[in-house]
Amino acid sequence: MIDITLPDGSVRQFGQSVTVHDVAKDIGKGLARATLAGEVDGELVDGSYSIQSNCTLRIITDRDPEGLDIIRHSTAHLLAQAVKDLYPEAQVTIGPVIENGFYYDFSYPLGFGEEDLHKIEARMVALAKADLEVRRIVENRDSAVQRFKEIGEEYKAEIIGEIPGGEPITLYSQGDFVDLCRGPHVPSTGHLKAFKLTQLAGAYWRGDSNREMLQRVYGTAWPNQKELDAYLHRKEEAEKRDHRKLGRQLDLFHFQEDAPGMVFWHRDGWALYTVVERHVRSLLREYDYEEVQTPQLMDRSMWKRSGHWDKFRQHMFTTHIDDRDYVIKPMNCPGHVQIFNQGLKSYRDLPLRIAEFGLVHRNEPSGTLHGLLRARRFTQDDAHVFCTQDQLREEVATLIDLTYRMYRDFGFEDIEVALSTRPDERVGEDALWDVAEDALAQALIDKKIPYKVQKGEGAFYGPKHEFVLRDSIGRRWQCGTIQVDFSMPGRLGAHYVSEDGKKVVPVMIHRAILGSLERFIGILLEDTEGRLPVWLAPIQVVIMNIADQHAGYASEVEKALTKQGIRAETDLRNEKIGYKIRHHTLRRIPYLLVVGEREVADQTIAVRTREGRDLGVVPLGDFAGMMEDRTSNHGIETIGGLKDSGS
């Protein structure tokens, strides 16, 4: 008898070998129809996989994260089959799953255009409706190479030829199409119900600019049409909210090739940056941090001792001065250890919390650069807490409180947390990893914060919390981290004197909440579509005169508001008031104040919001008081009985 243990602990017995699909059918016909694959003793397998002995089994459907990846990988094969049907002379290369979809690279000298994209997608729909069976084939390397050479697929033959000779080669067929793949795949093409090709791009074979340029076709795939439609709507919204477009439109910043990956902040963009920085700094003071600054250049030997040189050197900018090799700072932690090392530390000095708005440079590949979201020069809201092992759990708990508070101040309430545990390549003793992972997990449990475990995703020096924010259109942004490190302080000579007079290496907690200020500002812009809450808006108020004789009063209003710390400016141009209102509405200015004869006579202002709401005529003092509340509390205040536009 074969005993198969299911996730709920129940056991099903079979007198002979059975497939995953057979087990699903034994449980119920509905589950059998929904089965995409299985997980046998922790390993993903096809639905046709034959179970020969006792095992644990989890049935994979499109409701499982793994199921979505299988759908997307299978849809990439469907794309390749459609291309080969329509353009037999094209060669297939690689087609991986990526976030929200997949791509496939093709060698096709004529190149594809938008019309080709529509034809390919239509052919994919027809192949899916044909419900072709997907079969797994196992061959040895030499026969697989020969198979693909015979059909002119030189790229596939090259890939297979580099696989060690003793390893079995797995192929998948659907209809007449055969492709190399590790699998698993859907049982038949009929399981692929909701997909769309999204764009074309170029890509070098194996990322080598000295090799052939290939044609890359991107697509997305989902379990059903409803989820596909929702994704396409989010994508459309995301394109409207692209922070790079908003940066130009609102005159906040720009990039240029003279400094790739490095932002040029304009006046209003820098005003936004400094508001964010000030708010972070105010919380640093409240949570008892010492703010410091460390050098931009340090000798390469420092980075070797810290362990970063071996793990990170491909992303480091280096320079050679006075016969010494220097690294342009890619992170702040080694510098903070040097500050800790100045002067003898006692257990009474701990915890010591060191923070820095640390300007760093990282040599990110040019193809990955993406405005503020992926840059080469950026500023981390970085901090390191040095503490004893006994203090670790409490410090982690305090950091969690600070992290949640900061996100909520910026308007993010939907927060997901993951605990990333020890990777295979790591430093430090397993016993210390146990302590670190337990402290991180227990702090979340104590606060009743749900979290998922990401096995093997920790840093080489320690496990970490990862905080993911969900924005107003449902996208997820990984921002903050809390990382426990038992290794680096000792590598860099840090110690304190314990109560019994012994030298002890402190625990070092790395933490960044926003991640980088630049990236977080990009997220804020896309989340709000540039309609920042009043306390963050670079310019909070614009005062506009109806005619020249009202210009003096408009300037007086600006001075009065500016004196109270409100970021105000005037528009005294000789233009119609409607034109001015439209112009500053497009600038996303929260409040538009209009002054004419009545307002000058009564010392009042007519208040409009960027959403076009007319809040009426109010005394200047009342408006200034409301603005003071809005900018100090970050809350939703009212004026004239209506919510203002900063909500």
- State the alpha helices, DSSP H only, in 359-426: 389-409
| 464 catalytically annotated | yes
| 26 catalytically annotated | no
Contact yes or no for 227/67 (Cβ under 8 A):
no
Which of these is catalytic: 510, 584, 610, 630? Answer: 510
| 362 catalytically annotated | yes
Residues in the chain: 647
User: How far is it, in rounded angstroms, from Cα 94 to Cα 225?
Assistant: 26
User: How far is it, in rounded angstroms, from Cα 419 to Cα 533?
Assistant: 32
Contact yes or no for 475/234 (Cβ under 8 A):
yes
Contact yes or no for 440/399 (Cβ under 8 A):
no
User: How far is it, in rounded angstroms, from Cα 593 to Cα 617?
Assistant: 9
For 15, the token pair is 């007198």
568 Cβ contact list (under 8 Å, min separation 6): 539, 540, 541, 542, 543, 557, 558, 561, 562
| 266 catalytically annotated | no
Calculate the CA 182 to chain-centre distance: 28
Which of these is catalytic: 185, 464, 580, 610? Answer: 464
CA angle 420, 424, 430 (to 5 degrees): 80
| 495 catalytically annotated | no
| 349 catalytically annotated | no
User: How far is it, in rounded angstroms, from Cα 534 to Cα 627?
Assistant: 8
Which of these is catalytic: 72, 268, 333, 644? Answer: 333
Which of these is catalytic: 345, 362, 491, 519? Answer: 362
For 110, the token pair is 């004529």
Which of these is catalytic: 215, 380, 391, 483? Answer: 380
Instruction: For residue 483, give the nearest of 505, 511, 506 by alpha carbon.
Output: 511
24 Cβ contact list (under 8 Å, min separation 6): 31, 32, 34, 35, 38, 47, 59
Which of these is catalytic: 193, 345, 384, 550? Answer: 384
DSSP class of residue 176?
T
| Residue whose pair of structure tokens reads 């193809």 in the numeric block | 367
User: How far is it, in rounded angstroms, from Cα 12 to Cα 16?
Assistant: 12
| Residue whose pair of structure tokens reads 């005003």 in the numeric block | 271
Looking at the DSSP bridge assignments, the partners of residue 173 are: 135, 178
| 116 catalytically annotated | no
Q: Which residues are catalytic?
A: 333, 362, 380, 382, 384, 464, 510
